[in-house]
Amino acid sequence: MCGIVGYVGKRNAYPILIKGLHRLEYRGYDSAGVALLNPQGTLHIYKAKGKVADLEAVAKGKDTTGTIGIAHTRWATHGEPNEINAHPHYSESEQLAIIHNGIIENYAVLKQGLMQHGYSFKSETDTEVLIQLIEYTKNKDRLELKQAVQLALSQVIGAYAIAILDKAHPDTLIAARKGSPLVVGVGKDEYFLGSDASPIVEYTDKVIYLEDEEIVVLTQGKEPEITTIDNVPKTPEVKTLELTISQLEKGGYPHFMLKEIFEQPHTIADAMRGRVNTEMEKIRIAGFIDNKERFMNAKRIIITACGTSWHAGLVGMYAIEEFAEIPVEVEYSSEFRYRKPVIHPDDIVIAISQSGETADTLAAIQMAKAKGAFIFSICNVIGSSIPRLSDSGCYTHVGPEIGVASTKAFTAQVCVLIMLAMLIGRAKETLSAERYRALVHELERIPDKISTVLKQNERIQDIAKEFRYALNCLYLGRGYNYPIALEGALKLKEISYIHAEGYPAAEMKHGPIALISQAMPVVVIAPRCSTYEKILSNIQEIKARKGRVLAIVTEGDEEVSKISDFVMTIPETEECLTPLLSVILLQLLAYHIAVVKGCDVDQPRNLAKSVTVE
């Protein structure tokens, strides 16, 4: 979703801003723009529909000087993606320029009021309304820009991260946030601004995370000045980034997605590091230890998440119910937040989010918290909004995930949920000591088993060629692998634009069986597990109707392999851990189908990595 970059210092801002925009491309966007202010107070804005490279082409040969600037990648909400709607936006007098992430919900009312005061609008955006409101407020009461921003923001309903330039102050940048993240990078005599740390990391590892309703004034040569919208001064808390530049680069892989798929033996090990101890035959998760009684006494666990994280939640449901015998409900955050859910004090709400910024999940936990629920979050981005709002939690520690289609974050989320389920189960003694120990040892073997699975990469590339012309695809699984059928179908949809559906295998009879033909490949996840015989029958049903089956089986399998058209294998493991292996094959399958179809794997059309609007 939209990305923000800013710079205040002595260097030429343009190359820093453009590089920053490239770093943010992974978030998904459809237009881009930059505003540059030079010490004489000349402000230049360049914008383009399309990619950052299109913006560079527009700015080529033009005046790109200026030691202060703001830049933006836009993911359209109000108004189609075009040059006019792209940010930055000028105010009426062209004295001010703004970039904005988020949505101003009451923009229509504000716009009407401003039109009555003679303001006109060039774009269809809510952002232009905001900068006009700021200018109107500033001029009406002859205020300083900061005061005008504070007053204007106090009238705004919605979410925002904004950065503003003023021709009258060519050494100062003002930024503010509510509901959309904003990070200030603190360099030597210079400041950087980012909607996340990726545009900042190559210049400094010192950052300040702005809190909701805070405004920062960044002036070259001065300390950052932070206040709330109500003008209460705040002391900036400078933190050290853990992010490194190499984590943001492809490291020889053609796409971030492939790099991230291949990182999984390491990222799963990282998610378990310091947590799984095979010598002691124990698991340790600090967020669990601190709240052990609460978990043991929980009457219900509600998992809330979106997209791929929601699928991880489903796997978690199977594990928590099996090991801890606690009823689990898995909710789409967007539905949960608008229902009137009954939440008891002994319920636990687990929020799962790679980015830690997904607007619906954030709102869902705000609602659950207000109703007295205890919030435990499983997130990847350290210091992001969801973990900060939670009572406790556990990071997945997979490093930055750049590919829009989530891969390594998913497997780590599943791994953390299984560890958590084991811990609750052991504490409640619903999971026997013997089984617990066996699972601890098997968890430790998972990274190597993922490496084994990855060896099928070339074969999957060949299978992908067979599937490239499919218009529809069905994914079937049962038990722990039903969520993997959903996830496999989502991966294919996201990056290859082939329509795909995931289904519980036995449900096929209640509808999708009508679609079976040679033209629609059916992917069946059929490892040796408790429902093996059942799924074998499901495959027979498909074959009887001349369907083409790609099966995922356990190494050494004969029965399913014999009747399937294509076979991929996973090593033998505990049933609850099979998703960690089967999903890798489906990630690779989706990846190779997308590549062979010529799709933009890392930045699929219309999708955003971090969905910060509802």
- Annotation says 299 is catalytic: no
382 binds ligand G6P (CB under 6 A): no
Residue 393 burial by Cβ neighbours in a 10 Å radius (0-12, 13-18, 19+): buried
Q: Which is nearer to ligand G6P, 191 or 410 (CB)?
A: 410
195 binds ligand G6P (CB under 6 A): no
354 binds ligand G6P (CB under 6 A): yes
* Residue whose beta carbon is closest to ligand G6P: 307
Which of 74, 87, 259, 609 contacts ligand G6P by CB under 6 A? Answer: 609
Q: Among 439, 443, 420, 421, which Cα is nearest to 323's? A: 421
Query: What DSSP designation does 95 have?
Result: S
- Annotation says 473 is catalytic: no
Where are the extended beta strands (E) located within 29-125?
31-37, 43-49, 68-74, 89-90, 96-104
Number of residues that bind ligand G6P (CB under 6 A): 15
Would you say 588 and 261 are in contact if contact means Cβ atoms under 8 Å apart? yes
Maximum distance among all Cα pairs of the chain, rounded to whole angstroms: 81
Would you say 108 and 125 are in contact if contact means Cβ atoms under 8 Å apart? no
261 binds ligand G6P (CB under 6 A): no
Question: Per CB under 6 A, which region of 201-209, 300-308, 499-507, 546-554 contacts ligand G6P?
Answer: 300-308
Which of 101, 198, 204, 355 contacts ligand G6P by CB under 6 A? Answer: 355
Closest separation between CB of residue 403 and ligand G6P, Å? 9
Question: Per CB under 6 A, which region of 191-199, 280-288, 306-314, 532-540 contacts ligand G6P?
Answer: 306-314
Q: Which is nearer to ligand G6P, 169 or 499 (CB)?
A: 499
414 binds ligand G6P (CB under 6 A): no
123 binds ligand G6P (CB under 6 A): no
Question: Per CB under 6 A, which region of 53-61, 191-199, 355-363, 533-541 contacts ligand G6P?
Answer: 355-363
Q: Among 90, 241, 35, 16, which Cα is nearest to 7's? A: 16
Q: Which is nearer to ligand G6P, 402 or 418 (CB)?
A: 402
Closest separation between CB of residue 326 and ligand G6P, Å? 23
Q: How far apart are CA 10 and CA 176, in angstroms?
A: 23
Which of 95, 150, 361, 396 contacts ligand G6P by CB under 6 A? Answer: 361
Closest separation between CB of residue 63 and ligand G6P, Å? 37
Q: How far apart are CA 226 and CA 582, in angstroms?
A: 48
Question: Per CB under 6 A, which region of 18-26, 44-52, 293-301, 303-311 contacts ligand G6P?
Answer: 303-311
Q: How far apart are CA 458 and CA 159, in angstroms?
A: 45
Closest separation between CB of residue 515 and ligand G6P, Å? 26
**Residue 79 backbone class (left: φ over 0; alpha: ψ -120 to 50; beta: rest):** left
Query: What phi, psi does 482 have (nearest 5°)?
Result: -65, -50
In the numeric block, the tokens 């013997």 are attached to 434
Q: How far apart are CA 295 and CA 158, in angstroms?
A: 34
Residues catalogued as catalytic:
2, 609
| Contact set with ligand G6P (CB under 6 A) | 306-309, 353-355, 358, 361, 404, 406, 607, 609-611
